[in-house]
Structure 1
Amino acid sequence: MNGKKLIAVGLPMIAVTYGLSRFSYGLMLPYINGTLHMDPSVSGFISSLSYIAYCLAIIFAMIGSNKISPRSILIIAGLSSIIGLSIIAISTNAAVLGLGIFLAGLSTGFSSPPYADIVSTEVEIKLQNQTNSWINSGTSIGTAFTGAIAIFMVDSWRETYLIFALIAVLVLIVNYKALPKHNIAKKKIAVGFTKKEWLRSVQLILASLFIGISCSAYWTFSRDFMINLENVPPYLGEWFWVMIGVAGLLGGTAGVFINHFGLVSAYRISIFILSTSSLILGTFPDNNILGFLSPILFGSSYIFMTGVLIVWGISVFKVNPSFGLGVPFLLLALGQAAGAIFSGQIAGLSGYDTLFVSASIIGYLTLAFKPRVN
């Protein structure tokens, strides 16, 4: 299976599991709140369920990578996405909504590590960074798509989630037919990692955790913040998510950038831009020009940053690529889970302005970490 074919099936799956199943909650939150009437603390807690589910699933995917074929794990990812999205569509209260968000969140954790395993065995080495980065950019496609659908569907959030579920069914069928059926995981050695690798991963782990805390506020509350500002044109709030997603396509170039300029430069640039996007949102929320700039910076730098974490992780956990992707993404999700809960509390007590400025400061602090490339 060549890299282009793998991107063709992997990118849509990531678009479904990340864009539709996970990050769409922040987009649809204003409409869901219009029906279920949740306060920010409840909204933040429900958002954290998606990240907690992600953590559990990605641990399973990493541990099970030596026993279960990547294709089988991806089928589980597709099924959990379909079930979760369907439950969200029919939810009548916060508890049912939380269950749907949790099940949909499982799909994200199941989907990423298997592709890293397939890439490591099916794609030539010089193209692996680019292939992993482009598959990862499916998040941006899914985000842009959810934004566009929300504009046309207005506040019909239940119907929107049913559409998402149908799309998830189609993507699962494509992956079921196209992915290698043999158990690639059996080609690996029994031990998934070494002590030396774990020691070298300390900065990767800390960086991923604090980046997750920093960006969770943006994913959960940025659009809700924008559409409720009196001096911001309605179209800016409506197209906010689309801008994040379209800009995220630039993140697909992470692998190429790293090959040319190095991992350290790629990391620092992405973190600086990511943090600046939150600072702009919290400091100049009523400035229309900066209102456009913030989501563009966030979308492009977030996807780019996750591409950097993939390359950094795989360079650390060379024995098992699924660990290389899984470990930083696990810590990123843990940070996002904690950040979502704290974000809801901060937003309720001090307002969104304080929330986004605080998130940017945490992000800037992660510039102190430095990827190890040897």
Structure 2
Amino acid sequence: MKLPSSTGFALFGAVLVAISYGLARFAFGLFVPPIRSELGLTASVIGIIGALPLISFLLATVVAPLAADRLGARNTAVLSSGCGVVGLALISQASGAVSLGLGVFACGICTGLMMPALTAAMQALVKRSLHGRVSAVMNAGTSIGVAVAVPTVLFLAGAWRSAYLSFAVVAGLAAVAAWYVIPSVSRVMPANAAPAPPISALQWSRLAVLSAFAFAMGFVSSAYWIFAPDLVVSLGGLPASSTGWLWLAVGIAGLGGAVVADLADRNNPAITQALMLMMLASSLALIAASPDQILIAAFSALVFGLAYMSLTGLYLMTGIRLLPGRLSMGPVLPFMAVALGQAAGSPLVGMLVNQLGYADGFAAFAVIGILVAMLSPLYPRYLDLGPEAEGAEETGLQAAYDYQLQNEEGEPYRYDSREQERT
């Protein structure tokens, strides 16, 4: 099997992320208006269902590093895509809140397993100096998935069951592609690898601050992901098909998130976070203020897409830099915090919409976003581990992975702490 280059792996990873994050997770908000209408669900019930994939995402993310260790990157990616097939198929056949909830729950498992599987493969295939950039490109795949979902709404307005069935087929094709493209490397510690240094108290404290910011961003963004399409339909009186233009704008603008995150990573992350959080808050205020104006709503979606993807990419790259060489923890912790924030925010948005209405509910979340942006000077700085620490990692675990891949003929080498043998 010919192994992909760093660029090829980044692009293929972006495609898998597009399916697992874009189609299986975030596209749900796009179909809320027709699903809610056909199944007779209230805003509170939709809010609870919208939190389920975030909860399953957290549960899957906790066990994902162990799955990548034991199953290998290839099998974990295939398992993730398989869960996506099951979840998307269940949604397409949903008859009520329970069956719909089971489907979105399975989709959350798909999302939680995919990124750890890709980072396990990335640690074997990609040089450490490129980890942040490759991760940012893969993270931007979410925007691709969201944008791909748009034509199904524009051309299959009301036919959400057919749309989700087509998504299930795409996820099945992704499982097959992952089997052939991702190498079957295992993240078992090789005998000659230098053990990773213990995580210092300073690293833990900065990770805690990073996770707190990621939680707050996820909390604020949950309003847009789950209820923005329903807002323009219910409050603005726009046709259900018009929501597709919102998600198209989110997807297009989100592609710029990879560039913004990379620039912020190299310049001033704190200022970038403050700016993007202010943009996130303004997108909520814009769409709540003019839900009947499709151009203003689309502009708010552009602002939201750029801000959200930039922030998730920034948090991912910061996590990698705070815990270099620990890809099963560094980028995973802020992603878990974002999901936890969305899981906490989604039901609360539903309650506020029922009690106060869309305008006041979105305004309250916009205020929270502004307050969090004001705390951005506390954003964690990177740790200067020095060239010696970086060199130690390159000659340790990474060197063993390079040796494994360079000598892969058929089945790969699997290293064990007791012996080294061909399997």
- TM-score w.r.t. structure 1 length? 0.94
Shift of 1:119: 2.4
Shift of 1:40: 0.5
For structure 2, list consecutive stretches of 5 or more residues without a partner in the other structure.
384-423
Shift of 1:357: 1.1
1:7 corresponds to: 10
1:371 corresponds to: 380
Q: Which has the higher helix share?
A: 1
Preserved contact between residue 121 and residue 185 of structure 2 (Cα < 8 Å): no
Structure 1 window deviating more from structure 2 (75-84 vs 248-257): it is 248-257
Give runs of aligned pairs for residues 97-176 of structure 1, distance below 5 A: 97-176=100-179
Matched residues in 2 for 1:230 and 1:365: separation?
28
- The amino acid that maps onto 1:266 is T
2:213 corresponds to: 207
The answer as to 2:68 corresponding to 1:62 is no
Shift of 1:282: 2.3
Structure 1 window deviating more from structure 2 (61-70 vs 346-355): it is 61-70
Shift in alpha-carbon separation, 1:259–1:97, aligned structure 2, 3 A: closer
Shift of 1:19: 0.9
Question: Structure 1, residues 246-296: CA drift from partner, whole Å, max 9, x if none?
Answer: 111111213431354232233222222122211222234344542221000
Matched residues in 1 for 2:51 and 2:198: separation?
29
Question: Structure 1, residues 132-168: CA drift from partner, whole Å, max 9, x if none?
Answer: 1111111101101112211111111111111000001
Matched residues in 2 for 1:372 and 1:63: separation?
29
Shift in alpha-carbon separation, 1:230–1:298, aligned structure 2, 3 A: closer
Matched residues in 1 for 2:188 and 2:225: separation?
33
1:194 corresponds to: 199
Question: Structure 1, residues 2-32: CA drift from partner, whole Å, max 9, x if none?
Answer: 2211123211111111111111111111111
Of 342, 347, 351, which aligns to 2:353?
347
Matched residues in 1 for 2:102 and 2:227: separation?
20
The answer as to 2:101 corresponding to 1:95 is no
Q: Cα RMSD (Å) of the superposition?
A: 2.0
Task: Give the match's secondary structure for 2:382.
Answer: coil
Shift of 1:191: 6.6
Preserved contact between residue 17 and residue 108 of structure 1 (Cα < 8 Å): yes
1:75 corresponds to: 78
Shift of 1:189: 6.8
2:391 corresponds to: none
Matched residues in 1 for 2:292 and 2:23: separation?
29
- The amino acid that maps onto 1:19 is G
Structure 1 window deviating more from structure 2 (13-22 vs 318-327): it is 318-327
- The amino acid that maps onto 2:301 is P
Shift of 1:118: 2.6
1:261 corresponds to: 267
Shift in alpha-carbon separation, 1:294–1:193, aligned structure 2, 3 A: farther
Preserved contact between residue 193 and residue 320 of structure 1 (Cα < 8 Å): no
Preserved contact between residue 84 and residue 106 of structure 2 (Cα < 8 Å): yes
Structure 1 window deviating more from structure 2 (318-327 vs 124-133): it is 124-133
Give runs of aligned pairs for residues 273-312 of structure 1, distance below 5 A: 273-312=279-318
Question: Structure 1, residues 177-211: CA drift from partner, whole Å, max 9, x if none?
Answer: 01111214535777796243322212111111111
Shift of 1:127: 2.7
Preserved contact between residue 257 and residue 266 of structure 1 (Cα < 8 Å): no
2:403 corresponds to: none
- The amino acid that maps onto 1:38 is L
1:25 corresponds to: 28
Matched residues in 1 for 2:120 and 2:189: separation?
11
Question: Structure 1, residues 306-329: CA drift from partner, whole Å, max 9, x if none?
Answer: 100101111122241121111001
Preserved contact between residue 47 and residue 226 of structure 2 (Cα < 8 Å): yes
For structure 1, list consecutive stretches of 5 or more residues without a partner in the other structure.
none
Preserved contact between residue 13 and residue 118 of structure 2 (Cα < 8 Å): yes
Task: Give the match's secondary structure for 1:285.
Answer: coil
Q: Percent identity?
A: 28
Shift in alpha-carbon separation, 1:232–1:95, aligned structure 2, 3 A: closer
1:243 corresponds to: 249
The answer as to 2:362 corresponding to 1:356 is yes
Matched residues in 2 for 1:332 and 1:249: separation?
19
Task: Give the match's secondary structure for 1:91.
Answer: coil
Matched residues in 2 for 1:351 and 1:75: separation?
42
Aligned length in residues: 374
- The amino acid that maps onto 1:21 is A
